[in-house]
Structure 1
């Protein structure tokens, strides 16, 4: 496979995972998500990776090179206090999952009439819980080489095959009523229970509110003006441009909400540079975070940081981030995102123990219809 094709697959993978990773909800909606990746032909990258997130904060990581499930937040140590064998049990299960995923990539390559090359099988699953209404919802979605492959519809209790190559898997899994019952139980009972427990474990950090630092940035006088915010929490935020007191949409490009390495978030919104004759002071960048007063930053040429060396002022009075910092942060985010998705295996456990959210018993089905 030529380098351009490899790059295309990697970029499609990033888009697929980013869309899954950034499923947001309101300020009172919590989420538990697992992203799994199995890769073939990717140099210097583990064949199998799992990342778990609570409210989009990474809490667990596993890969086929370390063969260890590792907590990424100090408060996750409470899991072992409640269940001393939790991590060791998951290590054994996930080591087996690695082999399942390697087999599934071979099956998928055969389905798509492929030989060799770079290929990535992905999975995202988990649940959401509204702590005010008590409403819960679950999700499970598989992808291959950056495209949707098969999705579980909890409402109809059936599998959706968006590509012809997945139809054979859909028929197999639709006919496996035990599998459907187990997935329904996982999404409606096991996953929400674990989510509530982990929100309680990490309440001191997960339920906090952090205000952002805001910067006005511009590459050149004719480039769009970027209003960039970073360091806010939670991620249920909105940002937009306002002109003359009214929300302004013309020439505006809204960026995605992306995670920072410290568990906070960043986002940006671009505005086509106003003309020389326009009143720049009539434009305002507005950042909204539930429960706090709007943060409003007036568009002022004097505080915009540009490649021409203007210093600029942030809303907190500090020097703003430059474009190099933003690019580095974006690259770091992509590294985290690409380390997501795949296929997983479940193992029968002692019913006296609380089932692990990663390794819910007996739900895994291989893609091979003859398995």
Structure 2
């Protein structure tokens, strides 16, 4: 488990995907000797939208979405605060254990915990998950098929053996991840539908750092994070000399992504266009590549102005999704 992977939010290809996979996840980060950073941070997310935040400096769980007031009772925040305070101490102990296992006496160290569930609103399939990371590497992973912990490092095997002997805790985790978690997820989706199911169209631009650099198509400000972006030549999607970036979060809760294209200056650029697709939006955003409009080193950029119907969007499927949500 790479350390940055917990914070990277990935998109889902829209080419042949109509169902939506919803998720409820909690991310905990505990640190040792990291300057100007809380020793413990907890974040709860629904469909990668932050709903709860807590850190060791404030010692208080706070809501990040207005609709959460309707989804939970008034005592919910006090209970969450108590839960996070307890976990703060537990993970702090786990860091010290990991340090001892590696023979570490000081320095900067980080442990992360990620757990939650995903729910496919078409197949009703539920997938639970829980895993720990230490200093940017996998540490402990819960195998949902066998309901046992797996050590990713030799130093974690002692903990794995101890936790696997606690059958009561394992059964609790199995029930929570497969039953309780998806129930909360469906509840949150129902209350936060207007926010979580909204679509925000991005601002898209094309730019190039230098005449020899790849041409980058950049989209920012879109929501949800289920988006796809690619290059086409003469109307056909291309894969050669194309590098796609990950979907990343903006500070305002929206997302950004880019896709780069290596293209010789002698090539006929008018044959190329950048395509952006957003789940829930019926129109593709098409940006033709115009060599005369692309600035170098942060200069002039080409903005999106062409909208075309998205061929894979089905109005019947959208009606089905709305009906499913109304029954949650």
TM-score between the two structures when normalised by the length of structure 2: 0.86
Residue 45 to residue 24, structure 1, CA distance change in 2 (3 Å): farther
Aligned match for 1:158, one of 148, 151, 160 = 148
Aligned match for 2:20, one of 22, 28, 42 = 28
For residues 1-371 of structure 1, the aligned pairs below 5 Å read 13-14=3-4, 16-18=5-7, 21-22=9-10, 28-80=20-72, 83-272=73-262, 274-291=263-280, 292-307=282-297, 309=299, 311-316=300-305
Please identify, of 177-186 and 83-92, the stretch whose mean Cα deviation from structure 2 is larger: 83-92
How far apart in 1 are the matches of 2:202 and 2:295?
18
Task: Give the secondary-structure state (helix, strand or coil) at the position aligned to 1:74.
Answer: coil
Please identify, of 64-73 and 202-211, the stretch whose mean Cα deviation from structure 2 is larger: 202-211
More strand by percentage: 2
Please identify, of 85-94 and 46-55, the stretch whose mean Cα deviation from structure 2 is larger: 85-94
Please identify, of 286-295 and 36-45, the stretch whose mean Cα deviation from structure 2 is larger: 286-295
After the TM superposition, which segments of 4 or more aligned residues of structure 1 sit over 6 Å from their partners?
Answer: none
How far apart in 2 are the matches of 1:300 and 1:29?
37
Kindly provide the CA deviation profile for residues 12-46 of structure 1, in whole angstroms up to 9, marking residues without a partner as x. 633x4235x53758651111111001110111111
User: Contact 1:227/1:268 (CA < 8 Å) preserved in 2?
Assistant: yes
User: Contact 1:304/1:312 (CA < 8 Å) preserved in 2?
Assistant: yes
Q: Which runs of 5+ in 1 are unaligned?
A: 1-11, 318-371
User: Contact 1:128/1:138 (CA < 8 Å) preserved in 2?
Assistant: yes
How far apart in 2 are the matches of 1:280 and 1:301?
6
- The Cα RMSD (Å) is 1.8
The residue aligned with 1:329 is none
Task: Give the secondary-structure state (helix, strand or coil) at the position aligned to 1:182.
Answer: helix
Residue 179 to residue 30, structure 1, CA distance change in 2 (3 Å): same
Per the TM alignment, residue 237 of structure 1 is displaced from its structure 2 partner at its CA by 1.2
Per the TM alignment, residue 316 of structure 1 is displaced from its structure 2 partner at its CA by 4.2
Residue 116 to residue 150, structure 1, CA distance change in 2 (3 Å): same
**More RCO (CA 8 Å, sep 6+):** 1
How far apart in 1 are the matches of 2:198 and 2:265?
42
How far apart in 2 are the matches of 1:247 and 1:23?
18
User: Contact 1:79/1:86 (CA < 8 Å) preserved in 2?
Assistant: no
Per the TM alignment, residue 67 of structure 1 is displaced from its structure 2 partner at its CA by 0.2
Q: How many residues align?
A: 300
Task: Give the secondary-structure state (helix, strand or coil) at the position aligned to 1:199.
Answer: helix
User: Contact 2:295/2:301 (CA < 8 Å) preserved in 1?
Assistant: yes
Kindly provide the CA deviation profile for residues 240-272 of structure 1, in whole angstroms up to 9, marking residues without a partner as x. 111222221222110000112222211000111
Per the TM alignment, residue 308 of structure 1 is displaced from its structure 2 partner at its CA by 6.5
Task: Give the secondary-structure state (helix, strand or coil) at the position aligned to 2:302.
Answer: coil
Per the TM alignment, residue 108 of structure 1 is displaced from its structure 2 partner at its CA by 0.8
User: Contact 2:11/2:227 (CA < 8 Å) preserved in 1?
Assistant: no
